[in-house]
Every structure is written in C-alpha cells, then in structure tokens.
C-alpha cells in the first residue's frame, strides 16, 4: 500500500497527454519515380515515428488525375500539376506534437499538398478526403472496372445511364467522399477554399449547412474578414441541388459575393 502511494506521489502534477488517432493525406509530385515512392512514404513514417507516433494503417501512393490543377512554388518558380500520387497514413500520436509534425510534413519538397486531420480508428481518409480525386489513369488494355480508391469506388459519369440500384448506392457513397470546387461560389477564391477545407468544409452540402457566423469567424482568423460570406449558403444550396441556371442568375446580381 505504501509502495503504491509513493508511486502516486512521484506522478503527482505530471500530465501525459493520451495518444489520438490522426490521418495524413498527401499528394506527391507526379515527377517522382515510381521506384522512389517507397522512399517518399518512408520519409513520412520517419516523421511520425520521430514524434513517437505509431502507424495504424495506410494506402500506398497511387497516380491519379486531379479534379483541378494545383500549383507549388519551387525555387521561386510556379509549377502546375494536373496529376499526383495520392496516399494516406493513419497513426496514433499525442496531440501536443501534431503542429510540429504537420509543419515537417508540409516541408517535404516532393509534396504538393497535404492535410493532417484528427479521425477515429475505424474511419478512413475517404470520409474526410481533402481533394476531389479523378479516376486513376489506365491504358486501353487494362480492366475497365471501377478502381477501389481509398475504400470508395469511383464511378465514371459516362456509365450513369446503365447504373443499377447497386451502382446508385456506390455513386452516392463515392460522391459523399469527393470535394466540390468551392471556388464556383462567388466570393470564394482558392485561398478561402483552403481555409474552409481546414474547417472540414469540402462540399456544397458542407457549406450550405454552415452558419454564417462561423464562416465570418473562420475568415477573421485567417485575416480575410474583408470578405462577406452572407450569400455563400444560398449559393451553395443551389449548387448542391444542381440548380446552376438559378445560381448563375443569382451571381449576376452579386458583387464579389455580396448582395
């Protein structure tokens, strides 16, 4: 009994944060040689283990088409990419090191874009995918079945007329994991879209369900308070429902997203 009390006293006042589950999704430059992909992945794992993190699961990087071009400054020169190697790693680590870990991941020269998010052990990056991802490039002689990408099947829009009820469920599942181009909302540019993504707003549905007050707070925190989000929900609702003509009519009446 005395020994237990001594142990308790020695730990008094010491707080050790509990590990939490995070995922890092990353896009590698398409110029990386396929033979070097393992080395690039190992560099990410080395950062995680450096901070005493433990890898739980992962998806090896695969070459994909991007839904929109992404840029990266290299030696003061802008490089534009329409393809990238996409992969993700889920890991346990204490939250006190996550900011430093994120900075080290973003500093990797071959990474175009990365996102570290807090998640749960049983989820995958699919439910929180930060990028709208296109179909993996395939040659004409490859199997034309849909690729299983990150746990969700990506469905060709050209096959929509032939879809069955099962295909419909697959399409719905895939679409829920894909980001929309938020810059189609007047008043939102790439920088603001990135701010929204960091707040888990990736789709028109996410944006239409957001509170204007919260949006103002996100903008203020990013020194973008000069922008007015008051019409974004309305615009996003029209976009979510595919009412593009009505959205165009509304946007013609707006000035930088303002009524």
Read off the CATH number of the domain in which 118 is found.
Answer: 3.30.70.60
For residues 190 and 123, membership in a common domain is answered with no
Residue 208 lies in a domain: yes
DSSP SS3 for 200:
coil
Q: Which residues contact 171 (CB under 8 A, 6 or more apart)?
A: 155, 160, 163
Same domain, 108 and 190: no
Residues 24 and 123 in one domain: yes
Q: Which domain holds residue 91?
A: 20-128
For residue 69, what pLDDT is reported? 84
- Indicate if 107 and 202 belong to the same structural domain: no
pLDDT recorded at residue 14: 57
Whether 15 maps to a domain, the answer reads no
Q: Is 65 inside any structural domain?
A: yes
124 and 186 together in one domain = no
Listed in sequence order, the residues at least 6 apart from 156 whose beta carbon sits closer than 8 Å to its beta carbon are: 135, 146
pLDDT, residue 164, reads: 37
- Domain end position, chosen among 66, 100, 128: 128
pLDDT reported for residue 124: 53
Domain annotation covers residue 12: no
Residues 24 and 122 in one domain: yes
The answer on 193 and 105 residing in a single domain is: no
For residues 124 and 201, membership in a common domain is answered with: no
DSSP 227: S
| pTM of this prediction exceeds 0.75 | no
Decide if 98 is inside a domain: yes
In a domain, 109, yes or no: yes
With respect to residue 46, please indicate whether it lies within any of the assigned structural domains.
yes
Residues 116 and 192 placed together within one structural domain of the fold? no
Outline where the chain has alpha helix (H): 2-11, 37-50, 98-106, 165-175, 190-198, 204-208, 212-221, 232-240, 244-252
- Is 102 a member of any domain? yes
Question: What's residue 12's pLDDT?
Answer: 52
Query: How many distinct structural domains can be found in the chain?
Result: 2
Identify the pLDDT of residue 7: 45
Q: What is the pLDDT of residue 148?
A: 33
What is the mean pLDDT, run by run of 10 residues, along the chain of 259 residues? 44 68 92 93 96 92 86 86 91 94 93 88 52 39 35 33 38 46 90 90 88 90 90 91 88 83
Same-domain pairing of 120 and 203: no
Same domain, 107 and 190: no
Q: Coil, strand or helix: which one is 33?
A: coil
């Amino acid at each position: 009994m005395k020994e237990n009390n001594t142990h308790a006293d020695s730990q008094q006042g010491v707080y050790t944060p509990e590990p939490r589950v995070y995922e890092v999704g990353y896009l590698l430059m398409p110029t990386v040689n396929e033979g070097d992909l393992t080395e690039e992945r190992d560099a990410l794992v080395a950062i995680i283990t450096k901070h005493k993190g433990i890898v739980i699961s992962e998806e090896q990087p695969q070459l994909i088409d991007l839904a929109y071009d992404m840029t990266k400054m290299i030696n003061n020169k802008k490089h534009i990419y329409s393809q990238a190697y996409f992969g993700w790693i889920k890991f346990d680590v204490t939250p006190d090191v996550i900011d430093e870990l994120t900075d080290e991941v973003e500093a990797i020269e071959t990474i175009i874009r990365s996102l570290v998010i807090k998640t749960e052990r049983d989820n995958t990056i699919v439910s929180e995918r930060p990028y709208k991802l296109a179909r993996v490039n395939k040659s004409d002689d490859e199997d034309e079945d849909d690729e299983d990408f990150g746990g969700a099947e990506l469905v060709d829009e050209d096959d929509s007329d032939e879809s069955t009820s099962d295909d419909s469920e697959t399409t719905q599942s895939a679409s829920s994991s894909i980001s929309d181009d938020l810059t189609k909302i007047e008043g939102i540019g790439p920088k603001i879209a990135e701010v929204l993504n960091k707040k888990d707003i990736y789709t028109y549905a996410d944006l239409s369900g957001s509170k204007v007050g919260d949006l103002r707070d996100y903008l203020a925190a990013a020194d973008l308070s000069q922008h007015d989000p008051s019409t974004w929900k309305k615009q996003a609702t029209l976009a979510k429902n595919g009412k593009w003509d009505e959205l165009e009519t509304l946007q013609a009446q707006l000035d930088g997203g303002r009524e």
